[in-house]
Chains A and B, each alone.
Chain A
Amino acid sequence: MRNKKFNASVGQLGERLASEYLKKKGHKILAQNYRTRYAEIDLVTKHKDVLVFVEVRTKVGEQFGAPEETLNFRKLQKVKENAAAYATRIKWNKLYRIDAVCVVLGENYQVLRLNHYENICQDPL
């Protein structure tokens, strides 16, 4: 049945779907699963001169809550720190932002919905 391995594979599937979606939207993928001691960033892309950090959240079915609900303040704080670290490492001196992609899968891993939220960190949480 469902276990950690299963969840990890669902997560990877979601990230793959997200990167395909963003590529179609014109994003250039710079890194996947960028990891520092703070946390891991699922995707780093570049879109029209703006560096974009993407957090991907995937769920099978929504009966145990929407993927949007799993994004909390602490997680975002980690992503922010990590993004700042990445921006410093590549000496990025223009705007960057943080996006989220939420994926909901069905019984047979087909995509039920995929939402892209831009610039989620400007709203004061």
Chain B
Amino acid sequence: MLIKVSSALHIGLETVGVDVEINMASRGLPGFDIVGLPSKAVDESKERVRTAILNSQIEFPAQKITVNLAPADIPKEGSFYDLPIAVGILSAVLDFRIPKNTLFFGELSLDGSLRHTKGALLLALFAKEFGYTHLFVPKDSANEAAAIPEITVYPAAHLAEVVEHLAGRYALEPAAVSEAPTLSEGSIAEFDMAEILGQEQAKRAMEIAATGGHNILMIGSPGAGKTMLARALPGILPPLHQIESLEVTKIYSASGNIGVGGGLLSARPFRAPHHSSSLVGIIGGGTRPQPGEISLAHRGVLFLDEFNEFPRSVLEALRQPLEDGYVTIGRALGRVRYPAQFMLVASANPCPCGYLNHPKKPCICSPREIQKYRKRASGPILDRIDLHVEVPAVEIDDLAQERQAVKQGEPSSSIQERIKLARNIQHERFAKDAIQVNAEMKNAHLKQYAHLSSEVERILRQAAKRFQLSARSYFRMQKISRTIADLEGVEDITVAHMAEALQYRPKIHDEE
């Protein structure tokens, strides 16, 4: 007797259909075998399926069972073939039909209950694309799959529920279409911008960066508030809109970073890996390529605190993803492409001791030491960072005075409102271009959307000559001026916009 159940397998963010074929022979010695390049986790499925069936008070058939996972030449990974295998075996024992156009997916627990399984969203997207209409997934993962309204998702808590449903003795309730939660539940920043005293220029630069998705580097003495500024960033970032949310949730779903019962994400990711993180941890990789921090920061922020302490290999590896917005990881087992359109926020000290240019404290570093320290981040990487901003040390007296005067800064919520408006302008502008923010503009987009009047262009040319800006920096300045104009809500880029943009040009090289 041959039974076929449909399931799928994930390679990176791509999904391939898998036919779970189950043959139950009524001759020879009873046994249970899985073929079709199963990994250890798939092979151990035998034990889980057998025990789960027995613990559901159903007798396990004493027959020779052969399971084939077709296509047989792609290595199978993961624990989610438990449900299709169990359903297939039970359809023979309890005599019910496997419905057409239906996918089964989920890991079984020994007691027969279904566990949260990673990748449910990818499965639902695959189902939509290839004409499947129904989906059986563990209850804890159903919220993810239910984000795709075209698919009927059945959330099952127990193997017995699925079996009874298929046998027509019980009706599972399809999951309601899940929507992204509102931001208030999603991202709560550690600090409010209003809590940060002074640093108006740095706050303004942060606002511009957050609006256009630009990369930003903060340089300043220890304790000036660089980390605090970066940690306050999630509070001013606008929520993900629908397309972005789907993109981000896909990455998190595939890598198993969505918790039990989680659904679409609405808060922009904020990733802050420590500087001892490895190349693979940041970029992604492994025998079966997993997304790294840059992909987990997709459509959000990658915060690299103590930028100069990161190994050079890691920083240089950021170059290509910073430019392209995706990363392709090639391994013996295959090639995987992960999106990595993130906003880089970096912070660094000006020198090893940290007090270069400090108003009070002397710097004790030798010029050689400073030069060596600066060299850790190469020209090409610094050239890719649009906004360079200095975060000067705050005088303690000023701090006390400011606190007394109760001169509160602008709260994050009102900054966020401004950014939301400016992002909407960008969203409408790029509706046809498959990009989301100003930072993603290519040269063709710049010609179309960031036209400079002859006067503005003259200023940019002059500045480029004087500060020896690279061609890339030249275009980046144009993008930043576009963002500043968007923040103001105006169409034309004026001299004032360009002049402000030029303040944030890369400065490290003029000093050397």
Contact = CB atoms under 8 A, between A and B. Distances in A.
Interface string A84-107: 100000000111111000000000
A90 B26 CA distance: 17
Contact of B62 (A83, A94, A97, A124): A97
Given A119-B62, A124-B46, A96 B26 contact: no
Which of under 10, 10 to 19, 20 to 34, or 35 or more describes the interface residues of B?
10 to 19
A95 B46 contact: no
A91 to B, nearest CB: 12
A95 B32 contact: no
Contacts of B30: 95, 97, 119, 121-122
A96 B62 contact: no
A31 B472 CA distance: 88
Contacts of B47: 124
B26 to A, nearest CB: 6
Please indicate which of the listed interface residues A94, A119, A122, A123 has the most CB atoms of chain B within 10 Å of its own CB.
A122
Contact of B63 (A80, A95, A118): A95
Nearest to B47: A124
Contacts of A118: 62
A93 B46 contact: no
Given A97-B62, A119-B62, A80 B29 contact: yes
A84 B46 CA distance: 24
B26 A94 contact: yes
A95 B31 contact: no
Contacts of B29: 80, 83-84, 96-98, 121
B168 interface: no
A93 B63 CA distance: 13
A15 B305 CA distance: 75
Interface string A36-55: 00000000000000100000
Interface string B13-42: 000000000000011111110000000000
Contacts of A94: 26-27
B27 to A, nearest CB: 6
B110 to A, nearest CB: 14
A80 to B, nearest CB: 7
Contacts of B32: 122, 124
A82 B29 CA distance: 12
Contacts of A119: 30, 62
Contacts of B31: 121-122, 124
B173 to A, nearest CB: 36
Interface in B61-118: 62-64
A93 B64 CA distance: 13
A96 B46 contact: no
Contacts of A121: 29-31
Interface in B375-415: none
Nearest to B62: A119
A98 B30 CA distance: 9
Contacts of A123: 50
A50 B64 CA distance: 13
A119 B32 CA distance: 12
Please indicate which of the listed interface residues A80, A83, A123 has the most CB atoms of chain B within 10 Å of its own CB.
A123
B27 A122 contact: no
Nearest to A80: B29
Nearest to A50: B62
A95 B27 CA distance: 4
A123 B63 CA distance: 12
Interface in B204-248: none
Nearest to B64: A95
B179 to A, nearest CB: 45
B511 to A, nearest CB: 69
Contacts of B46: 124
Nearest to B30: A122
Interface string B44-59: 0011001000000000
In the A-B complex, list the 8 residue pairs whose CB atoms are closest, starting with the nearest: A122-B30, A119-B62, A94-B27, A93-B27, A97-B30, A95-B26, A122-B31, A119-B30
24 contacts: A50-B62, A80-B29, A83-B29, A93-B27, A94-B26, A94-B27, A95-B26, A95-B28, A95-B30, A95-B62, A95-B64, A96-B28, A97-B30, A98-B29, A118-B62, A119-B62, A121-B29, A121-B30, A122-B30, A122-B31, A122-B32, A122-B62, A124-B31, A124-B32
Given A96-B29, A124-B31, 19 more contacts: A50-B62, A80-B29, A83-B29, A94-B27, A95-B27, A95-B62, A95-B63, A96-B28, A97-B29, A97-B30, A97-B62, A98-B29, A118-B62, A122-B32, A122-B62, A123-B50, A124-B32, A124-B46, A124-B47
